[in-house]
Every structure is written in structure tokens, then in C-alpha cells.
Amino acid sequence: MGAPRVVHVVHETEYRYEAPVSQSWQLAHLAPRACARQRVLEHRLAVSPAPDWIDARTDAFGNAVAAFAIHAAHERLDVVAESRIEIAPPVSDSEAALRPFDPSAAIRTGGREALELASFFGPSPLVPRSRRAVHYASRSFRPGVPFIVALDDLAHRIHRDFEFDAEATTVTTPLEQVFAERRGVCQDFAQLMIACLRGVGVPARYVSGYILTRPPPGKPRLIGADASHAWVSAWCPGQGWIDVDPTNDRRVDQDFVTLGWGRDFSDVTPLRGVILGGGAQELEARVTVTPE
């Protein structure tokens, strides 16, 4: 096992408004999550104009969120989240991951774990039930195929069959449209894979985060650098959650920083809110993730 890696993350969000905004209420999912594979060393959030009210809390999925309100007129909103995170090396697959997946395993799970799995087993606002997704996933999750082999194969097929196109979709593009047009971005591919997994009985959650902007020498630059990224966490009976990135066709390792997770993108939107006034608006977001 290798040594932990410390990375520095700067996520800058800038809104420019056509007319003054008199009131703004925002909710930010911009604090990295402390979890088994990472430890948050530092985190700070800077907002301009300065909020009149700010509250740090934890959402229903255990993610850190910050709610804030600005009551002074403004034509620009700047939000900068800066963090230092220590990321542990990935663990090897257990024997449980080498066994064929049993769709009834999630149903038989009891106690606190069953309550957690229930949120990631059925449909969610942006990941409805899909017969097309079940059919697509069944080509990977065949009887007798080891769970981890099926999981990697599904991610590989999505990477092969769907084209990354930053102009093809928006945050509201339906899943069936992504299936039909075979193109989209990391959010689309993550939610597509989640629909496939849930369709064949695998609990799956949407993970929001980042990947290294400048990879180590000899490693390729990944799709999604310089922006928020998304991937999938699938539950394997006997092992737990396994993270995989269908956009880049690879397992999640020390190149990835986890912000939080939920049922789909709507649960972990980096920054969303309600404003009074403003007219037309322009958004620019910049992300830099560098190893120390």
C-alpha cells in the first residue's frame, strides 16, 4: 500500500447579474467529506458580498453544507471554497467482490445498513426507473459473472458507447434523452450508470467531487479536470461501497477528491439558490486540484 496524498483544492464560482439582486439565498455543497478514504485537513469558504447570515449544517446524507443569505443589493456573487485533503491509497478488492452478485442480498440486509441502502436502491428525481437501463446493464450483470467484473464492464461499455460532449446536455436533460443521443457529460454518465445498477438490484449512489487538474508525470489528464466531477459508488455485499468513474473508465483512486454523495445530482449540487431580481445572469466556475 502506498502513502497518503495531500491535495489542495480551489473551487471558484462567479455569478454576474444583468441587474441588481436585492435578496439572495444560497446552499453550498463545497466542503469535502470526511470518509474512509479521505481526511479533511483544512476548509474555508469565502463569499462576496459578505453574507448577512450563514449556517453550517449536515444534510440527510451526512454531507457538510453551508446555507447563507445576502440582503444587500449586488450585481456579482463570488464564492471561493479552498480545502486541503489527505487521501488514502485505494484498498484491494475482497473475495466478496469476486463472487457473482446476488440481487436479493440488499433486501436481506438488516439494521442501520438497510436504512442507508434504501435511499440508493429505488428511483430518485433525476434517475427514474428505466427498462432501457435494465436491458443495457443485463449484458454486464450476467449469471455467474463476478460482481467486480460486471461493474468494471458496465463502466467500460458506457465509456465506449457514449461520447463526452459538454454542449449536448444540461442539468435537466432526461436520462432517456442521454440514452437516445449517446452523448453527455460526467453527470449524465454517472446517473446513467446508477439507473443501470439500480435496475438490476445494485444499490448505487451519485458521488460529487473533483479529479487532479495536473496528474503525476506519465499519467493522462482526465476528463472533468478544472470542473466539478461525478462518479458512481456501487454497493457490494460483503465488501461495501466501490467507486468507479464511467466517464474515464477507471476505478476511483488518489486522483479523486470526494465532496459528497446522494441519490443523484439534485442532492449534491455544488451551489444553488434563489434570488430576487438580477435579470439575466452569467455563471463561471473554475476548479484547480493540485498535489502538494
Q: How far apart are CA 70 and CA 75, in angstroms?
A: 12
Is the CA virtual torsion 126, 131, 137, 141 positive or negative?
A: positive
Q: How far apart are CA 43 and CA 86, in angstroms?
A: 12
Whole-number pLDDT of residue 135: 96
Whole-number pLDDT of residue 171: 86
Cell numbers of 39, please?
Answer: 481526511
| pLDDT tens digits in sequence order for the chain, 292 residues long | 679 999 999 999 999 999 999 999 999 999 999 998 899 999 999 999 999 999 999 999 999 999 999 999 999 999 999 999 999 999 899 998 999 887 776 666 655 677 788 889 999 999 999 999 999 999 999 999 999 999 999 999 999 999 999 899 988 899 999 999 999 999 999 999 999 999 999 999 999 999 986 666 777 666 555 778 999 999 998 889 999 999 999 999 999 999 999 999 999 999 999 999 989 999 999 999 988 8
Structural contact between residues 209 and 228, judged by C-beta atoms closer than 8 angstroms = yes
Whole-number pLDDT of residue 100: 87
Domains by residue range for the chain, with CATH = 5-87+269-291 (2.60.40.2250), 95-267 (3.10.620.30)
Whole-number pLDDT of residue 109: 62
- Of 234, 209, 244, which Cα lies nearest the Cα of 224? 209
- Count of Cβ atoms closer than 10 Å to residue 88 Cβ: 17
Whole-number pLDDT of residue 118: 86
